[in-house]
Chains A and B, each alone.
Chain A
Amino acid sequence: MGISGALRRFAEVVLDIDSTELSIEQCRALEEFSAKMKFDTDTSDLKKLMGVLKRKHLVDSICVAKLNGSAIASTNGSSGTECILGTSMFKYINSELPKSESVFVKVDGNWLMIMPYDAKMYIVRAPSNLSTIELKAIAKELERALKRKKS
């Protein structure tokens, strides 16, 4: 810092000059970021909702099955196989480890997460593991949509 810089700094302190500025570029970037993070889950279209939830929770697929393995809803085409795989895997683990709340399996760098909730099985695949809290939140949102669909 030169003499003029030091004098300017001294003057700023003494005269309480506000030398701050708002970065317009940063604000614009934040605006864009914020706009991308909007997810409209207020829809009665189950398929549309599942697509939104997939993006909202950054997961690859979501399948909902009955406890016998039959598919209720899915974001991908192979829902039948996925639902049977998920429910049978959970049932097996639960028979060996009673009171299991969820099953998390790391497969080839990705995660397969299985969790029963309100008499249904939720099977989620994602690049990173979600907390059971977040899995429950997905289940709750879908549960509401399924109830809306029924009524």
Chain B
Amino acid sequence: MGRVITLVSGKGGVGKTSITANLGIALAKRGISVLLIDADVAMANLSLMLGMHSNPISLHDVLLGEADVEDAIYDGPAGVKFIPSGLSLEGYRRVDSERLQSIVNSLQKQYDFIILDAPAGIEKNVASAIAAADEALLVTMPNTLSLTDAIKIKLLAERLDVKPLGIVVNFIMGEKGELRDYEISKLLDELPIYGLVPYDDEMRRSFIQKTPHPVVLRRPSSKSAVAIQKIAAKLSGTPISIGTKKQIPAEEAKKQGIFARIIGMFKKGKG
């Protein structure tokens, strides 16, 4: 039986969908069979992040009982399999997201990992996405606003009898006002930190392309891609082997003084 993990955040805009897309690909690149499911039945955009636009059969059709789940599985980048959610509002109004659990159960034997991208918020569709999984990975930003919602979503997962697995802290800038990883873990009842993903322009740019390519494919040695590959390594228990380019963590870079940064700029120019 494969592991079923839902990525949840409570708050929107914390980068949950981009982490899902990249994490799925990072796992698939390790030769692991991965199925990504866009469980955001109202505001689906995982397919766009994966650079896949034409998906005639979607999760909406499967939830409505109008299509077989196997017909809604598409080949994504790097060998990842993918079930998109429909984009139509009409479809969203008709679907019963509570059926998601039985759909996931029917696929669990076929994959090493099934990763669900949950919607933001705390409503029924979020509960359905969480309940369909065995474990929940919380995605948050290192600030109190985002963390408040993460605490609520952890509680929701516990209410639904789903184990909160750990925390992924995204968009780390290394600023003084940010919560540190140990503070985040403490506020979430000592939940382990699964990944620290620095803010990276490469991540943002990877989705603003003619055909979007997740950053682990487009720039595998960028700061954010390296961090996500570390999460994949931790989840799968496989060793880390990432690009050769030396990465400076965001926090370390911030600690550098202005002269060190100017010297660094000259060094870059030479290279």
Contact = CB atoms under 8 A, between A and B. Distances in A.
Interface of A: 15-16, 18, 20-23, 26-27, 30-31, 33-34, 37-39, 56-57, 131-134, 136-137, 140-141
Contacts of A26: 144
A133 B131 contact: yes
B188 to A, nearest CB: 7
Interface in B127-172: 127-128, 131, 144, 147-148, 151, 155, 158-161
23 contacts: A18-B177, A22-B178, A23-B144, A23-B177, A27-B183, A30-B144, A30-B187, A31-B186, A34-B151, A34-B187, A34-B188, A34-B189, A38-B189, A56-B158, A56-B159, A57-B159, A131-B98, A131-B124, A133-B127, A133-B128, A133-B160, A137-B131, A140-B161
Q: Which 9 A-B pairs have the closest CB atoms?
A: A20-B177, A26-B144, A137-B161, A20-B175, A133-B131, A137-B160, A21-B177, A37-B155, A22-B177
B98 to A, nearest CB: 6
B168 to A, nearest CB: 18
B190 to A, nearest CB: 11
Interface residues of B, number: 28
A27 B187 contact: yes
B187 A134 contact: no
Interface in B3-32: none
Contacts, number: 66
A37 B156 CA distance: 10
Contact of A22 (B158, B176, B254): B176
Q: Chain A at the B interface: mostly helix, strand, loop or mixed?
A: helix
Contact of A131 (B127, B179, B186, B189): B127
Given A22-B177, A23-B144, A137-B160, A31 B124 contact: no
B98 A132 contact: yes
A15 B259 CA distance: 10
B267 to A, nearest CB: 18
Given A20-B176, A134-B127, 11 more contacts: A15-B258, A21-B176, A23-B144, A23-B177, A30-B187, A34-B151, A38-B189, A57-B159, A133-B124, A137-B131, A141-B161
